[in-house]
């Protein structure tokens, strides 16, 4: 996917004028937040569970090589294959090679953010393999040829009208005037069309929410059951995931699962939690005859031990996104790449470069709500600030802003001059604003005064000035 | 009280100093009424958030050094702002990760630093303010740093509960940021405006005639939006109402209209 993060401001401007999107965001905020709130309320040990999740992941990250090797050995022992991909390019090539080796023309796909990250669909298509998304949301955005706008609800920016339109265009086999106004009708049609793909696909690609080192199993969590059909029906199953998703034991996986569903959708458990461990065994009733796991690094191992280490604990639950007031105002596409919201604003600069994504860490009030809800206790605001620090070091901010900041910081450390300067400012502003108590426009503060008034100083002399001359109350 | 009175440094913050000194004097009254000896150290300027939140750690640390020296020796440091108190209490110490001596001093200062309402309630055990009355309904905006970094939520409400005639009607989304965010509001004015518009709508929907809060930055943002909309809702710092003295015009008003 070609990033448009450098156009963040323009993207956001457009998003705030998109009525359908704004309607969807209002629903999203209410729904996800309320449901998570109830689910958390109902689990008295939720806070302790968060600690356990954090500690477990910290342990894994400290011994990542060990657990990955353990996992690999288990997969191999069960007759599966493990492929290591340093970057997106390598991962795409590996998947294509597997498709070619098994003569796959049509592949079904479960929802996978890693596949989005490496731009898999476009690549496969270019190389003669037809990918069909089977998660309803992913299917819809595939038809519309657009990226997901949310990591667990990829088509959240669309309404039923959009979906009906996309279906009429994409499914010419049905009468053009069929009723598609109800969610049920859309679902039924998608199910019918997708069923065909499920049975004809030669290969199925899924992501993985986790890999278990102890058993060599990968786990996917869905609410539609599409993942099960994607991975059991075709002859070949490819799991595409990233290295930080390994956990030591089944018990550890359970800790994450309990946090994940509650934080994401407010469910106690997702509707389907599916484990895959190796290809079909002799006594199995179904399953693929080939099983591959592709493990993507793509910059993650560089994050280990550094300022963004904690981000590798992320379980992609989207709680930070659902509670973010910025995401709530502009939606996911404005962020310009695969991962939106606070987790995206931390991750994206690490994965596609700070130059391209320089707006993302700044477009935050650091209100801290993301960290407050993150099940893995990831200090997202601290990391956003850290990116700002790197931008400052590399002079990536506008020179004018930098100069103003530097000037202020200098003045602040020279109290006598500071006092003279602020006394003059207060006296002037206080006098000019005396009649109305506020300004409706102010040179160089247009960002503020274009849309809101600027309160004027309430007095002609500041607090410290008055205090110095003896006022106490 | 037989205890020795506490010597408190009032750090008014740059915004209160310049834009609304009455908040500072209200804080002095509240602290003195609670038995403290209050001083406003003369060299105080700004806590350093603009530099810190813009990624300029070096300047933030230099400002922190200045303030650590300035505020040494007081029993407590109190600020009428959750975000500036949070800056000193939570963000000064990690600025000195590679300077153990300064880090120690920063932690020592952090332990003595409090947001005003939290200091009154949590440290001094104040249960009620004396002599304050304000008839009508107010709503309360919890500023983000106060709420999430310092746990300021019940304290202002508890004190407001003792203001005669005042009812507090809560916002529908009390945990939502108002969109101020320091330099954020001028760097991303459109998004900021969208957020403060939501906050103004929420405040309006409560039917309250007054918005109170503990951070002047947020309050200027909310008042600025309400006034632009032509709203009659008044906006004030919580200390103004708690202090119970005569009130100046609300934030962004002159009393002459
Ligand atoms: S950063 Fe935390 S809240 Fe956000 S998606 Fe990751 S785990 Fe969930």
Cβ neighbourhood burial of A395 (10 Å; 0-12, 13-18, 19+): exposed
Dmax over CA atoms of chain A, in Å, equals 92
Cβ neighbourhood burial of A323 (10 Å; 0-12, 13-18, 19+): buried
Is the CB–ligand 1 distance for residue A343 below 6 Å? yes
> B-contacting residues of A 275-294, CB under 8 Å?
none
Mean pLDDT of the region A329-350: 97
Structure tokens that stand for A428 in this block: 């002037």
Radius of gyration of chain A (CA): 26
pLDDT at residue B257 in the model: 58
Order of all β-strands in the sheet with A236-242: A81-85, A290-296, A236-242, A203-206, A106-109, A130-133
Nearest chain A residue (CA) to B194: A329
**Closest among B133, B132, B14 to B79, alpha carbons compared:** B14
B228 and A451 within 8 Å at the Cβ level: the answer is yes
A393 and B55 within 8 Å at the Cβ level: the answer is yes
Query: Binning pLDDT at 50, 70 and 90, where does residue A198 land?
Result: confident
How far apart are the CA of A90 and the centre of ligand 1, in A? 27
Atom of ligand 1 nearest to the CA of A321: 4
**pLDDT for residue A177 is more than 80:** yes
How far apart are the CA of A319 and the centre of ligand 1, in A? 6
Could you report the predicted ipTM of this complex, rounded to two decimals? 0.96
Residues 6 or more apart whose CB falls under 8 angstroms from that of A187 comprise A136
Structure tokens that stand for B104 in this block: 């120690």
Residues 6 or more apart whose CB falls under 8 angstroms from that of A287 comprise A232, A237, A279, A280, A281
Whole-angstrom Cα distance, residue A430 to residue A421?
14
- Length of chain B, please? 257
Is the CB–ligand 1 distance for residue A456 below 6 Å? no
DSSP of A267-336:
-SS-SEEEEE-SSPPTT-SS--SEEEEEEE-TTHHHHTTSTTGGGGG-----HHHHT-HHHHHHTTGGG-
Residue of minimum CA distance from atom 2 in ligand 1: A374
Residue of minimum CA distance from atom 3 in ligand 1: A374
pLDDT at residue A285 in the model: 87
- CA angle centred on B214, ends A33 and B43, rounded to 5°: 135
Nearest chain B residue (CA) to A473: B25
**pLDDT for residue A106 is more than 70:** yes
Whole-angstrom Cα distance, residue B257 to residue B253?
8
Mean pLDDT of the region A248-276: 94
Question: Does residue B3 or residue A293 have the better pLDDT?
Answer: A293
Contact residues on chain A for B248, CB-CB shorter than 8 A: 458-459
CA distance B186 to chain A (A): 5
Asked if B75 and B6 count as a contact pair (C-beta separation under 8 A), the reply is yes
B51 and A426 within 8 Å at the Cβ level: the answer is no
Predicted structure pTM score: 0.95
Enumerate domains of chain A plus CATH numbers. Answer: 43-300 (3.40.50.10420), 400-472 (no CATH)
One pLDDT digit (tens) per residue for chain B, 257 residues: 457 899 999 999 999 999 999 999 999 999 999 999 999 999 999 999 999 999 999 999 999 999 999 999 999 999 999 999 999 999 999 999 999 999 999 999 999 999 999 999 999 999 999 889 999 999 999 999 999 999 999 999 999 999 999 999 999 999 999 999 999 999 999 999 999 999 999 999 999 999 999 999 999 999 999 999 999 999 999 999 999 989 999 999 997 75
Enumerate domains of chain B plus CATH numbers. Answer: 7-122 (no CATH), 128-242 (3.40.50.11810)
Buried b (16+ CB within 10 A) or exposed e, B59-77: bbbbbbbbbbebbeebebb
Mean pLDDT of the residues in chain A: 95
């Amino acid at each position: 996917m070609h990033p448009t993060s450098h156009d963040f401001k323009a993207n956001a401007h457009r998003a705030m004028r998109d009525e359908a999107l704004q309607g969807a965001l209002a629903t999203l905020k209410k729904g996800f937040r309320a449901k998570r709130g109830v689910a958390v309320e109902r689990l008295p040990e939720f806070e302790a569970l968060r600690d356990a999740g954090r500690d477990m992941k910290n342990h894994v990250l400290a011994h990542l090589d060990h657990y990955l090797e353990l996992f690999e050995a288990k997969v191999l022992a069960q007759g599966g294959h493990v492929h290591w991909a340093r970057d997106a390019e390598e991962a795409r090539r590996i998947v294509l090679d597997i498709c070619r080796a098994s003569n796959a023309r049509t592949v079904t796909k479960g929802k996978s953010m890693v596949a989005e990250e490496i731009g898999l669909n476009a690549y496969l298509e270019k190389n003669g393999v037809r990918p069909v998304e089977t998660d309803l949301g992913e299917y819809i955005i595939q038809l519309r040829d657009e990226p997901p706008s949310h990591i667990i609800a990829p088509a959240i920016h669309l309404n039923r009208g959009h979906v009906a339109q996309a279906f009429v265009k994409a499914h010419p086999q049905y009468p053009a005037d069929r009723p598609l106004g109800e969610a049920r009708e859309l679902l039924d049609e998608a199910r019918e069309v997708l069923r065909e793909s499920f049975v004809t696909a030669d290969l199925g690609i899924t992501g993985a929410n986790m890999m278990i080192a102890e058993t060599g199993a990968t786990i996917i969590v869905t609410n539609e059951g599409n993942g099960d059909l994607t991975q059991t029906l075709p002859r070949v199953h490819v799991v595409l995931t990233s290295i930080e998703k390994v956990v030591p034991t089944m018990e550890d996986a359970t800790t994450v699962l309990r946090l994940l569903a509650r934080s994401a959708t407010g469910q106690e458990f997702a509707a389907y939690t599916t484990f895959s461990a190796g290809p079909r065994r002799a006594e199995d009733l179904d399953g693929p005859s080939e099983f591959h796991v592709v493990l993507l690094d793509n910059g993650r191992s560089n994050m280990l031990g550094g300022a963004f280490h904690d981000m590798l604990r992320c379980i992609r639950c989207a709680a930070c996104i659902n509670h973010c007031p910025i995401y709530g105002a502009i939606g996911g596409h404005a962020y310009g790449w695969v991962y939106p919201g606070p987790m995206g604003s931390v991750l994206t600069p690490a994965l596609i470069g700070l130059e391209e994504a320089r707006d993302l860490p700044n477009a935050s009030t650091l209100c801290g709500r993301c960290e407050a809800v993150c099940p893995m206790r990831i200090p997202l605001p601290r990391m956003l600030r850290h990116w700002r620090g790197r931008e400052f070091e590399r002079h990536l901010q506008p020179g004018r802003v930098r100069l103003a900041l530097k000037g202020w910081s200098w003045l602040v450390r020279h109290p006598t001059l500071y006092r003279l300067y602020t006394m003059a400012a207060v006296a002037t502003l206080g006098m000019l604003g005396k009649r109305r108590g506020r300004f409706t426009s102010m040179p160089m503060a247009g960002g503020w005064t274009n849309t809101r008034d600027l309160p004027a100083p309430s007095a002609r002399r500041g607090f410290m000035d008055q205090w110095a001359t003896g006022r106490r109350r | 009280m037989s205890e020795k009175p506490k010597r408190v440094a009032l750090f008014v913050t740059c915004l209160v100093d310049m834009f609304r000194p009455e908040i500072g004097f209200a804080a002095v009254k509240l602290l003195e009424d609670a038995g403290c000896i209050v001083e406003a150290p003369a060299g105080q300027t700004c806590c350093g958030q603009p530099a810190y939140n813009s990624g300029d750690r070096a300047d933030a640390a230099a400002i922190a050094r200045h303030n650590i020296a300035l505020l040494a020796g007081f029993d407590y440091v109190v600020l009428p702002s959750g975000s500036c108190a949070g800056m000193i209490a939570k963000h000064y110490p990690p600025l000195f990760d590679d300077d153990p001596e300064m880090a120690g001093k920063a932690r020592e200062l952090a332990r003595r630093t409090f947001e005003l309402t939290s200091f009154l309630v949590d440290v001094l055990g104040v249960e009620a303010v004396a002599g304050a009355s304000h008839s009508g309904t107010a709503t309360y905006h919890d500023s983000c740093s106060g709420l999430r970094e310092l746990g300021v939520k019940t304290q202002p409400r508890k004190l407001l509960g003792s203001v005669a005639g005042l009812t507090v009607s809560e916002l529908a989304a009390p945990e939502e940021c108002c969109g101020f965010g320091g330099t954020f509001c001028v760097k991303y004015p459109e998004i900021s405006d969208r957020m403060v518009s939501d906050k103004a709508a929420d405040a309006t929907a409560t039917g309250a005639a007054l918005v109170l809060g503990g951070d002047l930055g947020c309050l200027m943002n909310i008042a600025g939006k309400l006034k632009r909309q032509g709203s009659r809702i008044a906006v004030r710092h919580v200390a103004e109402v708690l202090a119970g003295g005569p009130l100046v015009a609300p934030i962004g008003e002159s009393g002459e209209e």
